[in-house]
Structure 1
Amino acid sequence: GNITYKRNSVDIRQADYVYWSAPVKAQTLGGVSPLTLSDKYLSWETTKWVANPSTSFMTAGKGYIIRGPETFSNTVRTPYTASFIGVPNNGTIAGETAVPSTYYLIGNPYPSALSADDFINANLFLVGTMYFWTHNTPVVLGPSYKYNSDDYATYNLSGGAGTQKAPSGGAAGTNINVPSGYIAAGQSFFMGAKAAGSISFANSMRRAANNNGQFFKPAGASKTADLEKNRVWLDMTNEEGAFKQILVGYIEGATNDYEDMYDGLTFDGNKYIDFYSINNASKLVIQGRALPFADTDAVPLGYRTAVEGNFTISLSDADGKLSTQAVYLEDKTTGTLSDLRAANYTFATAAGTFPDRFVLRYTNKTLGTGDFENTENGILVSVKDKTVKVQSSKEAIQEVAVFDISGKLLLDKKKVGANELQVSNLQAGNQVLLVNVTLENGFKTSRKI
């Protein structure tokens, strides 16, 4: 028979959209928010938002967005409770049929939490990163309301990254809208498709009520330890309120290559700032790396800012083996190495894109053994007649990667296994290039040519 399922949304304003899905059968859009303007019930159809009549029934497994009630303020956030009335959805449910290179707004069809990991593993034709709307940034009011696409929190098998700074004086990682790995009843989210397939849900993906509390408002959330995960979260902020969080993790099942189930691309939707880790020229808000973790690993970090001034990079949280591991930030522009467990790192920057300024490290010694100066002096990178030559006098070369100044990967030669590499016929005009060299002993350096 019918149930009434109530879901409290994050506190919203009249102009805010909430991302909903129906946990019951025969639920109308208008029944979720009766006082919303009639043309503000939307679904995502392939490439654009489409308005739906308020009398339309919500399809199980499909997401919808509904603007706040017209009676709500546009300056003060107010709690909103939706009531879903109908027979609860149960059993195997088929969602939309996906086509490659298309995004879909997918909804949890059950009146219980859904395991994000189970859903990702059961729908391998989807790109494995989920994007959740968080209402973090106020809507820009005017003739055309403007919404900030960087307000999507992200989640994949490596974990989640949020869009909200922890409160002053709060413990690291607390009260940030980082996805917990459980999709609440009534919640929808974006995922892209990399191949054709039918989106599917099953009762085996469902979880108990104590995992059903995160409907994208700051709240404690339970976590699982099904896989080994050793993770670190970094925040980039300024005094004016700009914020971007990234996650780097050493995850069971991940490799150091790009994999959409463990690596999440940044949406780069924020007008003012983007912050990301880099792997094979991909700009990532979440990066999963291979086990076992070694403190000799180093991860390049880049950023983009539309404003000049001072920014701060801080250690927000860490877990697994990284909960006690030293975490360092190398600034290649100033030549400094900062201990992020001891203090946040504040730096000055001009406006622009800087794809190679920072490196995340776990030791203050670039080499575990040996002499840094001698090894650095033993590497020569030169160019003549458009042929790039990389030479190492002491250690064999493991990998050479060449980027242009925008961060685009032009060449990635792995398993070199020799003390010299020559690269000719490089597809690059007259410009500055960055040559990243990795030696067999793990030492890494970057040279400009």
Structure 2
Amino acid sequence: NGNRGSLTEPNQFDLEYQSSPLPYRSTTNGNWDNNSTWLNGSEQYIPGSPSIVDPNITVDWNIVETSHDITMNNTALPAINNDNRSVLALEVTSNELTVDTDNALTVTHYLKVDGLMDLVGESQLIQTQGSDLDVTSSGHLERDQQGTADLYTYNYWSSPVGLMNTSTNNTNFTMPDVFNDGTNPAAPQAINFISGYDGTNTSPIGIADYWIYKFVNAPDDDYSSWQQVRSTGNIEPGEGFTLKGPGTGGISTPQNYVFDGKPNNGDISLNINTGNDYLVGNPYPSAIDAHEFLNDNPLTGGTLYFWEHWGGGSHLLGEYQGGYAQYNYSGGTGAASYGTNDPDVGTGGTPVKLPGQYIPVSQGFFVYGASTGTINFENDQRVFVKEGGSSVFVRNGNTQSSRSGSEDTRMKFRIGFNSFNEIHRQLLLTVDENASANVDWGYDGSINEQQIDDMYWMIEDEKYVIQGTNVVTPETVIPLGIHVRDDGMNTITIDRLENVPNDVDIYVLDEVNNTYQDLRQGDYNVFLTTGEYLDRFSIVFTTPTLGIEDEKLNDSFEVYYANSSESIVLLNPTLINIDGIEIFNILGQSIQTIEDIPTNSNNEIKAYSLSTGTYIIKLYSEIGTISKKVLVK
């Protein structure tokens, strides 16, 4: 046919214009998505643009070099990108690359910054695992974050950048090296770090450096271990630090700051010893995934603690009012609050700051050392999630809404405590197949500060704010502990239920009053005198209803557990035939069955291998079945 040996039909195809050399290079100031911004832009596709094969995905293997003032806005990209553009390599050789408000840039292999990268608003820079930041980078990155403006109130911070240099990455810094007044985000100024106790509402703002502290690998109960850093002391990448506001507003008024320096990237490690606490923080210019952080840090206690300072109006330690919000695999709880019974409203009428799965840029938090080793931050923890929803900077200000992470469909019971002295504490019970009735690393969060009045879960005689369990049945018993400073009326309530079916009953069991309160029908109000109540209250999921036959059955037996002999004592004065005894843990799981019980008036039956905790003993007889809750010590 005259075309033998041809791979194509002549004149039936077009050859795309090819340019060399790579990378994509900018030629003028402008918008990233304008063809005119790029060399050969009219012949090539925009870097990081939708694929010609599948327009629902974007090309992520481009190598890009910019040397002009360029603004990147990703809102026109496919929805699956979530406003995040990805490139293989990027070199900002000079001038400014601006990532427009609430966008993200991901670099998968290589980044060099000799100019300025400006992350506007909630914008973020992500480098994935194995992505390098060229150590000779001479430029810098800017990123805003907001804290409280109140001069008496602490926030816990960390820095996403270090000292500018061309020899090392992830460098130590002092506050003036990286921390700036962002009252006008477009024109940040150097902060006046001043002596004395009070910041100043000036231009630029004045920060009292007396209140800049860090807590580095020290015993968790040693307040004297706080190290005063001021504006001259070194802070390592990954370390957290405290700061009070300049007095430009109240607790709920945000004060904007601008971090400016060489972006942190890659592995960052801090040493921690068994039994110690460390104030650390997100060291990257992007959010990090708390689950991935926990996965990478099995030597920690498995829970993250976020300080919320909600009142006091004083620099005196004894007058501080605040507490710790918590987060682990089970979910998050807000800090205890004062003066409000609304579970969604914190002290002073501000929204409760509920930590989510994603830790925002510059957020500081405490971890506990369960074993000696290192605290590890890694690029695989980095993710683009804007604040709000599942990413909340724990401060006393407003947060903006945002897309959250994947939907959590687990059952969650948020049980509230409102005390006589107006303290509100929320406890979280999450049903997760990976948890159990015992203490589970990463699913149970121990209390690390106690209010004047407080409530907590009791697990193996210890106090917890978050509890994970693998099942809830009518036999499940979840013990509560309470302490109160003063005599008065206190309330146990449902703050919120998540994914809990309507047919799941929820009761407070009061062992002293021998009462069950249906929390779906109303709160449980109880007068308590000063003291601690560790074995009086429980959350249960059924209530006994006794008819005439049930009353007769209850009167026929007495069952209790003798801790001294590790035995079940059965009193059977009318010599009723017993078919057997079954022991359940507080999750309703059968753990031991005893048969062949003699028909005696007084039986003492050995129950082996019962660890400390609460159990249900179920007795089967010829006239019926009865259940009895016992405490094994």
Q: TM-score range by the shorter chain?
A: 0.7 to 0.9
1:117 counterpart SS class: helix
Deviation string, structure 1 residues 376-406 (Cα, Å, up to 9, x no partner): 853423769x6464235564242699xxxxx
Larger Rg, first or second structure (1 or 2): 2
More relative contact order, 1 or 2 (CA 8 Å, 6+ apart): 1
Secondary structure, in 3 states, of the residue corresponding to 2:263?
Answer: coil
Look up the equivalent residue of 2:238 and give its one-letter code.
G
- Whether 2:225 is the aligned partner of 1:44: answer no
Q: List runs of 5+ in structure 1 lacking aligned partners.
A: 402-413, 425-433
CA separation in 1, counterparts of 2:153 and 2:559? 56
Q: Which of 374, 378, 390 is equivalent to 1:198?
A: 374
Match of 1:398 among 583, 588, 599: 583
Query: Using a 3 Å threshold, how does the CA distance of structure 1 residues 227 and 448 change in structure 2: closer, same or farther?
Result: closer
1:23 shift after superposition? 0.8
Is it true that 1:147 corresponds to 2:320 in the alignment?
yes
Could you tell me which residue of structure 2 aligns to residue 230 of structure 1? 411
1:249 equivalent in alignment to 2:430: yes
- For residues 351 and 326 of structure 2, what CA distance do their matches in structure 1 show? 16
**Cα separation, partners in 2 of 1:146 and 1:260, compared to 1, 3 Å:** farther
Q: Give the letter for the 2:364 counterpart.
A: S
Q: Percent identity?
A: 24
**Is the alpha carbon distance of 1:373 and 1:113 closer, same or farther for their aligned partners in structure 2, counting shifts above 3 Å?**
farther
Contact persistence 2:457–2:481 (CA under 8 A)? yes
* Aligned equivalent of 2:277: 103
Counterpart Cα distance in 1 of 2:267 and 2:243: 23
Please state whether the residue corresponding to 1:134 is helix, strand or coil.
strand
| 1:105 aligned counterpart, secondary structure | strand
Encode CA deviations 1:320-364: one digit per residue, 9 max, x unaligned: 235763322122222221221222221111010001221112233
Q: Closer, same or farther in 2 for the Cα pair 1:366/1:248, shift >3 Å?
A: farther
- 1:214-293 equivalences under 5 Å are 214-217=392-395, 219=399, 223-225=404-406, 229-238=410-419, 240-270=421-451, 272-291=452-471, 293=472
- Which residues of structure 2 form unaligned runs of 5+? 1-138, 164-172, 181-190, 194-205, 220-224, 571-577, 598-603, 620-625
Distance 2:436 2:141 in 1: 45
Post-superposition shift, 1:113? Answer: 1.3
Give the TM-score, by structure 2 length. 0.59
Is the contact made by 1:231 and 1:322 (CA closer than 8 Å) also made in structure 2?
no
Pick aligned residue for 2:629 from 442, 445, 449: 445
Q: How many correspondences in the alignment?
A: 418
- Aligned partner of 1:398: which letter? I
Alignment-mate amino acid for residue 200 of structure 1: N
Q: Distance in 2 between matches of 1:373 and 1:247?
A: 39
Does the 8 Å CA contact 2:340/2:423 hold for their aligned counterparts?
no
1:375·1:394 contact (CA, 8 Å) conserved in 2?
no
Map 1:290-439 to 2 at 5 A.
Answer: 290-291=470-471, 293-321=472-500, 325-365=504-544, 374=553, 378-381=557-560, 387=565, 389-392=567-570, 393=578, 395-398=580-583, 415-418=591-594, 420-422=604-606, 436-439=614-617
Corresponding position of 1:67: 244
Deviation for aligned residue 1:139 = 5.1
| Preserved contact between residue 296 and residue 376 of structure 2 (Cα < 8 Å) | yes
Q: Which residue of 1 aligns with 2:263?
A: 88
Pair 423,137 (structure 1): closer, same or farther in 2 beyond 3 Å: farther
SS at match of 1:326: coil
**Secondary structure in structure 2 of the residue aligned to 1:321:** coil
1:161-195 CA-to-partner distances (Å, cap 9, x unmatched) read: 11256967787999322211211110010011112
Matching residue's letter, 1:88: P
RMSD over equivalenced CA pairs, Å = 3.6
Over 3 Å counting, the alpha-carbon distance change for 1:120 and 1:222 in structure 2 is farther
Q: Say which SS state the counterpart of residue 66 (structure 1) adopts.
A: strand
Given that 1:164 and 1:177 are in contact with CA atoms closer than 8 Å, whether structure 2 keeps it comes out as no
Shift of 1:67: 2.4
Task: Look up the match of 1:23.
Answer: 160
